[in-house]
Amino acid sequence: MSAIQVQQAARAESRSTKEWQQADSSHFIHPFTDHGGLAKKGARIITRADNIYLWDSEGHKILDGMSGLWCVNVGYGQQALVDAASRQMKELPFYNAFFQTSTTPAIELAELLAELSPPQFQHVFYTSSGSEGNDTVVRMVRRYWDILGQPERKVIISRNNGYHGSTMAGASLGGMSGMHAQGGLPIPDITHIDQPHWFELGQGLSRDDFGLKAARWLEEKILAVGPERVAAFIGEPVQGAGGVIVPPSSYWPEIQRICDKYGILLVSDEVICGFGRTGNWFGCETMGSKPDLMTFAKGVTSGYVPLGGVMVGERIAKALIADGGEFNHGFTYSGHPVACAVALANIRLIQQLNLVSHVKHNIGPYLAERFAELDAHPLVGETQTCGMMAAVQLVKDKSSGTPFASELEVGMLCRAHCFGNGLIMRAVGDRMIVAPPLVMTRPQVDEMMTLIKRCLDLTLDELNRKGWL
């Protein structure tokens, strides 16, 4: 262990797990958590991490199949990122970018992001999270149409089961009914269409025919709202939190065609898909669209420190910068120098390790090959992968694709086996998903697949014992 790891271990061991759990449940309100259930069980206390592994306060080693929360693209323990933060904190821990000032890491990162992004992007607006990024998108899109003299264009179309964050605008853009049910959402002038989820909505059609049909729901919605009132469409290239829903390859080009036809802005939410996850720098490149705005966060710093933002395409940048006067929007931490310094180190590491090409040509195809083997398992209705994201849909009856009753919570049952066997795999309903660090090697994919197969078998045994099959 390094000196730092010894220090960390000493801190973790200064109290027992029970004591940490008690303090946690007395004072810490967790995101998206039922605290009654948590207080009974006690939180799992994660104390350290290295590469693709985590350790908890009981000393268990866990393979992190979710990259933290879709973000630790370069894996844990990367010294270059630690050094970048430490250097920047010593030199200039903070200065703002509001009153005609700037800082060198924010400028350098802006340059590098412009270089890596598709060519229409030469400008960035910084935030500290994906949610703030999407709030910025809503304000920017509406401001753009104001500047162009079409203030009636306010409506933003999004998708059911999309996820765009937890702020008022982020949760409104998202299509999660549980979120809309709390807090009077969505805010006005945000409306939703159905998602391009073939397994749930497209059976009976070929995937490509379904992709066209799902994209045309956008055109129907534009016509229903009135094309002169529609400002933009937003979507994740591959839905992440919704369950790794990989759209048919016909979907995004058709969405692009429809946006072009009606002159509406296209926003690609790259918070999960950005920075190599799908085998290109950005998911829109994998899916074949040419967005006007891209939201990013997570992988830009591999989650080591919070940073997010919006890449601003040329037509919006021109209006906003050249014609628009002041855009009354910004955050204290827009362009935070430490966050930007870590992002620079992270992106340079992704480049040095050739991680985007590793995902596209090596580890992504290997993950796809190994996931396809799960199709033979009696519980599996379909598998899907895209780069380093993958999903396994659990079903009651394989031949007909019949799902389990949702109240059985079969996904949660499978997730409990994953937890018990040292694997972090998420359950979204009965869809089991992973999005591991991009640095994963083939033997590590094998190790993960052994765990996944074991957990599917244990779930099958349990369902048989319970008589639920």
Q: List interacting residues with ligand PXG (CB under 6 A).
A: 69, 129-131, 134, 163-165, 170, 236, 240-241, 269, 271-272, 297, 308
Nearest to 301 by CA among 108, 84, 122: 84
Q: What is the DSSP pairing of strand 121-127 with strand 423-424?
A: unpaired
Which lies closer to ligand PXG via its Cβ, residue 158 or residue 444? 158
Q: How far apart are CB 134 and ligand PXG at their closest, in Å?
A: 6
CB of 335 to ligand PXG, least distance (A): 17
CB-CB contact of 10 with 20 (8 Å): no
Q: In terms of CB distance, is 65 or 165 closer to ligand PXG?
A: 165
Question: Hey, how many other C-beta atoms are within 10 angstroms of the C-beta on 291?
Answer: 29
Three-class SS of residue 394? strand
Give ∠ CA 378-379-382 in degrees, rounded to 5.
100
Q: How far apart are CA 437 and CA 100, in angstroms?
A: 38
Least distance from C-beta 60 to ligand PXG, angstroms?
22
d(CA 393, CA 379): 8
Cβ closest to ligand PXG, residue 130 vs residue 387: 130
**Of 167, 444, 404, 424, the residue nearest 297 (C-alpha):** 167
Q: Which is nearer to ligand PXG, 33 or 400 (CB)?
A: 33
What is the closest distance, in whole angstroms, from the C-beta atom of residue 413 to ligand PXG in the complex? 18
Backbone angles phi, psi at 140, to 5 degrees: -70, -45
Q: Pick the closer one to ligand PXG by CB: 84 or 241.
A: 241
The CB-of-188 to ligand PXG minimum distance in angstroms stands at 21
For the bound state, the minimum distance from the C-beta of residue 244 to ligand PXG, rounded and expressed in Å, comes to 9
Residue closest to 343 by CA, chosen among 110, 167, 183: 110
Amino acid identity of residue 434, one-letter, is V
- CB count within 10 Å of CB 82 equals 14
Nearer to ligand PXG, 75 or 309 (CB): 309
Q: State the nearest-atom distance from the C-beta of 405 to ligand PXG, in Å.
A: 22
Edge-to-edge, what's the strand order for the sheet holding 431-434? 380-386, 389-394, 431-434, 426-428
Of the pair 319, 435, the CB lying nearest ligand PXG is at: 435
Distance of closest approach, residue 165 Cβ to ligand PXG, in angstroms: 3
Q: What residues contact 126, with CB distance under 8 A and at least 6 apart?
A: 97, 106, 307, 308, 309, 331, 333, 334, 335, 336, 340
Residues 313/291, Cβ–Cβ less than 8 Å: yes
Q: Which is nearer to ligand PXG, 86 or 332 (CB)?
A: 332
